[in-house]
Structure 1
Amino acid sequence: MRLEKNGKSQQTATDCRARRTARRSGYECTMAPKKSKASLTELLEQLTVHSGKEEHEHVLDVANKMLRLEAGDERAVEHKLIALIKLERYAEAVEFAKGHELGTSLALERAYCLYQVGELAGAEALVAEALAGADARTRRGLLHLRAQVAYKAGEFATAAAAYGELGAGAIAVEHEDYDISVNEVAIAVQRALWGEADEAGAGALAVARKLARGEAVNLGDSHGVSHEQAYNYACVLVAAEEYADGLALLKRAKALAQQLDGYTDDEIEAETLPINMQAAYVHGVLGHRDEAVAILNALDLAEDGAARVVVTNNLLALSGVPGYDLRNPHVALRLLTAVPAARERALTKFQRKELARNQLTLEHLCGKENSVKKGIKRHLQAYPADKSVELISIRPGVLDPYATGGKHTTKNLAYRVAKKYEREPTNVALGLAAVQLMMKDNNTTGANKVLDELLKLSPAQYPALRAVAGRVYQAQGHTVKAVRTMWR
């Protein structure tokens, strides 16, 4: 799995595994009406020839002819479904499969198509049903797909468990162990982004730091570190906010990708695309705005809708980029929502969360308050822990003269935010917003009260909270309290 933080495109090393495990079997002809027997036999021969040559358009044409002669012919159904997968016509494949009573037959192929069109719950249900009676080899293919589906859905514990079972079993396909190890690191990164610290994540971070220092690390491959491994471990460092080391490892990943043997220029460009996007993000975080803009503007995104959404988001976030100026939020919103289908199908849960929140912000700037209120409700249903999204709707309600009696003051805003925080005492973002507004209004007593409440939450879960509190206490002249808070 290749991934990016804060809205970077993510692909996975096993993304084609389901297609590679699509079955190729021989069949015996079934009995048919006399007038059709010769035609079916002839078509079956054509189907075999075209399938062997991987002429998928021809396979599709012949399979359709067979189905017109015998609607439920199993050979035609299977070959048509696989041809549609090979042609990447996944939505059509899903609809075709729904028209046949297949039970658990072709479960891997059908679940893979559901995964590709974003029907993750349906894909997992089909995989779970098929696993119950699968042989060892088929089970491995299904487990790869389960991990893929779970990763995209943000169910990282399920994905990790699937790869754990695969890693403990016998390797069935060449380089499968490599795929598993790469994907396990990707899961560790995503768990770090969502605050799900675990032992695997700690181990991945230790390896990433060694690679950044140039130390020798045994990753189970006699050929040394690959560009995919360097890239994923760079993402581990980025997730840990160790940006300088992460950027150095991204440069190494790009150099390794550019040296790949047997790859065309277009294939190398595809391999370096996520690396460049991640590097642009890190440059932006480090304040290297010009470098970030130059990288993003140089990318060829003609055929990658998901990457285009991410790049658009990041150019808007960099502010002031020609053609991506937030001073006209209507244009910005139109740019960000240009390819919604790709957003749902190709992006991870973390990316969808970030993009959805940014879209709500732009809708607010466009004055679409009814849409914002409904969007916040949907957002919290999908991401209940992301309470900070509620801040988008607070300011317009306070500054509306009809809602506040014309009092456009910081004190009024601070009061309303503080009242809302009293109803949601575990909402850290809301509490910090109240502290900021109270400090602007010189209400140090109120700010201290909110900070004290916030610090009762788990300090291990919110380490940055102690730093903020320490700086606020220091600014108020409470030096001893600041030091104790920082070093607690």
Structure 2
Amino acid sequence: MVAQSLSSLLQRATIDDHEEVLKSCNETLKKSKNDQNAQHIKAIALLKLDRYDDALRVFKTGDDALKQAAGLEYAYALYKCGKLDEALDAVTKSGAGRGASHLEAQVSYRAEKFRRAADLYEQLSQDGSSHHEANDLGINSWATDAQLQWKGEAEYVRHDRPSREDLESFETAYNAACLTIAKGAFAQGEVLLNRAKNICQTSEDLTPEDRAAELLPIAVQYLYVLLRLGKTEQAEALLEEISVEDIPELSTKKIARNNIVLARQTNINPFILYKALHETPDSVNNDRLFDCQDNILVGNSHAADLLVQKYDGIIRSTNKALSKSSCPSTTAGTNLLSVYNAAAQAEGQTGQKALKKILPLLERRPKDLGLLLTVVQLYVNEGNTTSAITAMERSLQALEESISEADQDARFNPGLLSALVSLYQLEGRKLQIRSTLAQAAAYWRKKPNSPASLLRAAATSLLHSDDRADLTTAGDLFKALYQQDSSDRVAIAGYVASQATLNYSQVESQLEQLPEVSELVADIDVSALESAGIMPSATSAAAAAAFAGARKRTAADKEARAVKRVRKSRLPKDYDPEKKADPERWLPLRDRSSYRPKGKKNKQRAADRTQGGPVNEKAEESPAAVQQKAGGGGGGGSSKNKKKKGKR
């Protein structure tokens, strides 16, 4: 009976008649509530009708056998309902072959596991695919690379420049533009967006409704690029093409409204700005923003809160969110909340006044990295790098004393250490830089996924050491980098430089892999470099700036100074600009070489001052000596010369 009803159900099923299939399934399930085939077909019909919550409810009411038999459909329902972790678990257990790989890549992309998604798309492309599938794989792989670039994992990006085939589809051209924009090349991104827009407008495969729906996100992205390029007039003209209310996805609508508000924000009332940024509700489930997008919009929202002085509200909301996150955290979203929490605590003040309110918070939360970097930035703005270094060293010491692995990872986080090294460089602390990087390299070498940039910086710093142990460590680090990437010429050159003085025969064979010196300097104009002079290093420039106030002007500096123009009213009446001025005009008359004394008394004085003339001992006596002969000494002189008091 069940088989006959199911056969009848399948005969009546068509690709465009999912409602009828759903009705037939319901009738069958009324007679047999646990009919697994009817439940499976009902779930598929609901998925076709975009009723994902109802489809997931069918799987929840069924047993484990239904979830196992329809593993792919169950995983897809979980994915569309935003339950990404459960969806990944279900799709990996389904074992449905190529379809499961497609779904796993899609779920990984939505869960922001972009490396896994990129690996799956590359594997699917290499295994062979039809023309239509290859086009979809190209579109999705470009989108994944764009997200990897936005997330800061540029070393895993596989695409560089779009090929001619990539530019024939507006989807691929749009994703290539997103990758270019993520790299910061906005001018090139504008060109690619124009290409995608033109292809979409002239496509014959799209209906007018579909064409309008596809052009909206392109226009929103284009508006962002124009704002970054400073093309305000073109941005204002583009605003007429964007109808925010026609955008179905809440995530895209929120981004569009944010960009439109920023495009029109000239002399805007802060309360109007606050209302406009909070007008669109937050997206949920599978339509929510990616972290890189959400961080920017949350920052804009809190900035508007600060403008309208909602300090207490920001403190409450950020404290609530921070209490749910781990501390320390290296995620951008969590640290951004700490920054705005500190800004609200400061109540719009900066400098020492802000530090006075924020420093007690850092003493209570020394592991809050966002708060720490806020304090460091305030110190640097005040020119107090020493206090900034002290604050960082205290927090890093607190992390180092912890036994938690998460605290240790945060302690040696490359981004955090780069900030500390930059502060050390400002004060010329070379030994601290070397020890900090060496300690971090020793820690990360024990980890499976060690950051290559940090290891490279540590190895390069150790090359400047005179200690053989440091050179050996540098060689080991460069060797490990070369094992990770055999085409890394920096690693090869560093390994050769570290081992050349220790064991030259060991690295002699490596020299063939390095380019010739003549090849490296072929395009360098030596004459231009010599005429430009030598640029001082950062340390010497900082030292010169520190002592610039104490440096005296030399004679050459005085001569190089511009001659000050004198007004005509200050010049004498008989002034002749062609006549050379007397160089002794600033000396008194009796000190000039042209001075000729008049009278007997003046001639005698001039003769006494003449070199080689007779010496007048009386004239040579000092005034002090004369005074001593005339009036005696200090306090213990003779009393014979003293006069008695009284009337004369």
TM-score, length basis structure 1:
0.71
* CA distance 1:458–1:346, change in 2 (3 Å): closer
Kindly provide the CA deviation profile for residues 3-33 of structure 1, in whole angstroms up to 9, marking residues without a partner as x: xxxxxxxxxxxxxxxxxxxxxxxxxx636xx
Which piece of structure 1 moves more, 418-427 or 224-233? 418-427
Residue pairs, 1:430-445, within 5 angstroms: 431=373, 433-434=374-375, 436-438=377-379, 441=382, 443=384
Query: Are 1:145 and 2:103 matched, yes or no?
Result: yes
1:116/1:354 Cα in 2 relative to 1: closer, same or farther (>3 Å)?
farther
For the residue of structure 2 that corresponds to 1:263, the secondary structure is: coil
In the alignment, which residue of structure 1 is the partner of 2:401?
none
Question: Which residue does the alignment assign to 1:130?
Answer: 94
Matching residue of 2:287: 345
CA shift at 1:44, angstroms?
Answer: 4.9
Other-structure match for 2:123:
165
Deviations 1:227-270 (A, max 9, x none): 12211111111011010111111101110111112311111122
Q: Using the TM superposition, give the Cα deviation of residue 449 of structure 1 relative to its aligned residue in structure 2, in angstroms.
A: 7.7
The alpha-carbon deviation at position 196 of structure 1 amounts to 0.9
Output aligned runs, 1:44-193, within 5 Å: 44-45=7-8, 47-101=9-63, 102-131=66-95, 138-171=96-129, 173-193=130-150
Choose 110-119 or 158-167, whichever is displaced more.
158-167
Point out the more displaced range, 182-191 or 410-419. Answer: 410-419
| 1:311 is aligned to 2:256 | yes
1:327 aligned to 271, 279, 283, which one?
271
Deviation at 1:115, TM superposition (A): 0.8
Residue deviations 1:195-222, cap 9 Å, x none?
11225x2x523x14xxxxxxxx354x7x
Paired amino acid for 1:398: A
For residue 204 of structure 1, what is the amino acid of its counterpart? H
Alignment length (residue pairs): 405
Label 1:121 to 1:385 Cα distance change in 2 as closer, same or farther (>3 A). Answer: same
Partners of 2:88 and 2:118 lie apart in 1 by 15
Contact map agreement 1:426 1:457 (CA 8 A) in 2: no
SS of the residue 2:259 aligns to: helix
State the 1:79 CA deviation: 2.2
Residue 65 of structure 1 and its aligned partner are, at CA, apart by: 1.3
**Aligned equivalents of 1:104 and 1:382: distance in 2?**
40
* Aligned 1:335-414 pairs, distance under 5 A: 335-336=279-280, 338-341=281-284, 345-361=287-303, 366=310, 367-368=312-313, 369-378=315-324, 384-386=330-332, 387-399=335-347, 410-414=351-355
Give, as a single letter, the amino acid of the residue that structure 1 aligns with 2:27: K
Aligned-pair identity in percent equals 26
Unaligned residue ranges in structure 1 (runs of 5+): 1-28, 32-39, 132-137, 209-216, 401-407, 471-477
What is the match of residue 17 of structure 1? none
Aligned mate of 1:234, from 165, 168, 177: 177
Q: CA deviation at 1:341?
A: 2.9
CA distance in 1, matches of 2:27, 2:175: 46
Conserved 8 A contact 2:75-2:91: yes
> Which shows bigger deviation, 361-370 or 96-105?
361-370
Question: Which piece of structure 1 moves more, 262-271 or 309-318?
Answer: 309-318
Q: Which residue is 1:276 aligned to?
A: 219
Partner AA of 2:378 in structure 1: L
1:152-180 deviations in whole A, cap 9, x for unaligned? 11111211222232123232x55112222
**Gap change, CA 1:481 and 1:457, over 3 Å in 2:** farther
CA RMSD of aligned residues (A): 4.0
Q: Partner letter of residue 146 of structure 1?
A: E
Paired position in structure 2 for 1:30: 2
C-alpha distance in 2, partners of 1:480/1:292? 42
Judged with a 3 Å threshold, the aligned counterparts in structure 2 of structure 1 residues 262 and 397 are, in CA distance, closer, same or farther, namely closer
* SS of alignment partner, residue 340 of structure 1: coil
Are the structure 2 counterparts of residues 334 and 315 from structure 1 closer, same or farther at C-alpha, using a change threshold of 3 Å?
A: same
Is residue 295 of structure 1 aligned with residue 238 of structure 2?
yes
Describe the superposition over 1:381-420 as per-residue Cα deviations: whole angstroms up to 9, x where unpaired.
89842123311001222349xxxxxxx6630313555777
| Alpha-carbon distance in 2 for matches of 1:382, 1:309 | 30
* Structure 2, gaps ≥5 residues long: 397-411, 427-534, 543-648
Match of 1:228, SS state, is: helix
C-alpha spacing 1:355/1:426, structure 2 compared with 1 (3 Å): same
Contact 1:333/1:363, CA 8 A, preserved across alignment: no
Deviations 1:433-462 (A, max 9, x none): 4465346546466568889999x9858997
Shift in alpha-carbon separation, 1:383–1:44, aligned structure 2, 3 A: farther
Distance 1:114 1:390 in 2: 33
Q: What amino acid is aligned across from residue 96 of structure 1 in structure 2?
A: V
- When residues 168 and 92 of structure 1 are mapped into structure 2, their CA distance, relative to the original with a 3 A threshold, is same
SS for the counterpart of 2:221 is: helix
Are the equivalent residues in 2 in contact too, given 1:325–1:332 (CA < 8 A)? no
| 2:337 maps to amino acid | V
Separation in 2, partners of 1:444, 1:461: 15
* Alpha-carbon spacing, 1:426–1:340, altered in 2? closer, same or farther (3 Å): closer
Kept in 2: contact 1:438–1:444 (CA 8 A): yes
Q: Which is further off, 313-322 or 52-61?
A: 313-322
**Partners of 1:297 and 1:237 in 2: CA distance:** 25
SS at match of 2:279: helix
Q: Is 294-303 or 143-152 further displaced after alignment?
A: 294-303
Q: Secondary structure at the match of 2:168?
A: coil
Q: Which amino acid aligns with 1:410?
A: G
**Higher RCO by CA contacts (8 Å cutoff, separation 6 or greater):** 1
Aligned-partner Cα distance in 1 for 2:184–2:294 = 21
